[in-house]
Amino acid sequence: MALTTRRRALTTLGAALAGAVALPAARASADDAHHGPRPLRRAHAHNDYEHPRPLLDALDHRFGSVEADIYLVGDRLLVAHDPVDLDPRRTLESLYLAPLAARIKANQGSVYRGWRRPPLQLLIDVKTEGASTYLELDRHLRRYPRLFTTYANGRVHPGPVTAVVSGDRAARGPMEAQSVRRAFYDGRLTDLDGPAPATFVPLISDNWTLNFGWLGTGPFPDTERRKLRGIVGRAHAHGQRVRFWATPDTPGPAREALWGELLAAGVDHLNTDDLAGLEAFLDARGRGE
């Protein structure tokens, strides 16, 4: 082969190889631009309403779950941690339901830009008497028929948002009596292996400090590690997810050690008030899925 021909062939081959290497990166970049960063399904915003921009700050940090405490006052559902903080302008509708409906309309059916799944979990912690508060909550949710995952005719019909009711346990009765629901029930460890199916109790939540002594300092005791993994295994075998509250949330090695053990055990939601901190932790480990 002549030198000029050989050079031309090598140049063509080099260009082809460069294109083959560069093309996947270009496609990934285009996909990122279309979809935006992947949502962090495991990230749960505890007391989300206390952030400067309730709901929106958590979604900006790609959280897959947010928590709102509600009080029934007349026919309004007010959002606050304590009764002294109640403000008639801060309702479940104004802070969560209406903004979610607007966001989903703008994003053509998605909470997250370009990502149809996972649905956002809206954990609603009932602070007033459970039965009456739930019945009013149900009336609120029915105003948004396309927004919520629904149980009807013995089946779960997925929606962009899944509402899960926590807090006062008296909500359970009226929920179980419904043949059509736009909300699901947050169980406790006492509900593990119980008769209620995951179509009613999809989530098992409990207080970490009432069940474990380890707070992230020193080695995780083997007995507690086995207990944790047993809980997660039993829940997952029944199609249920697991969350613990009251886990350490001060930035530092203890919190990271405990979060790491929760991830390793397969715990589905990590609880935090530190949106940026948990986002960075999950991104660094590639474990937000």
Q: What CATH code is carried by the domain that includes residue 251?
A: 3.20.20.190
Contact 77, 55 (CB under 8 A): no
pLDDT in tens, 109-163: 999 988 878 899 999 999 999 999 999 999 999 999 999 999 998 999 999 999 9
Contact 134, 176 (CB under 8 A): no
The reported pLDDT for the residue numbered 173 is 98
Q: What is the pTM of this model?
A: 0.87
Report the number of distinct structural domains present in the chain: 1
Assigned domain for 182 exists:
yes
Q: Which domain holds residue 134?
A: 38-285
- Is residue 91 assigned to a domain? yes
Within a domain: residue 1? no
Q: Does residue 75 fall inside a structural domain?
A: yes
- Count CB-CB contacts under 10 A for residue 53: 12
Cβ neighbors of 224 (< 8 A, separation 6 or more) are: 212, 213, 214
Place of tokens 């956002």: 120
**263 occurs within a structural domain:** yes
- pLDDT tens digits, one per residue of 3-35: 344 444 433 333 333 333 332 333 333 334 456
Check: CB of residue 62 under 8 Å from CB of residue 55: no
Q: Is position 245 within any domain?
A: yes
Give the β-pairing of 150-152 and 180-181: antiparallel
Q: Name the nearest CA neighbour of 270 among 288, 286, 284.
A: 288
Question: What is the DSSP annotation of 36-63?
Answer: -SPPEEEEEETTGGGSSSTTHHHHHTTE
- Tens of pLDDT, residues 158-211: 999 999 999 999 999 999 999 999 999 999 999 999 999 999 999 999 999 999
- 133 belongs to a structural domain: yes
Domain assignment present for 64: yes
Instruction: Output the average pLDDT for the chain.
Output: 89
Beta bridge partners of 112: 115
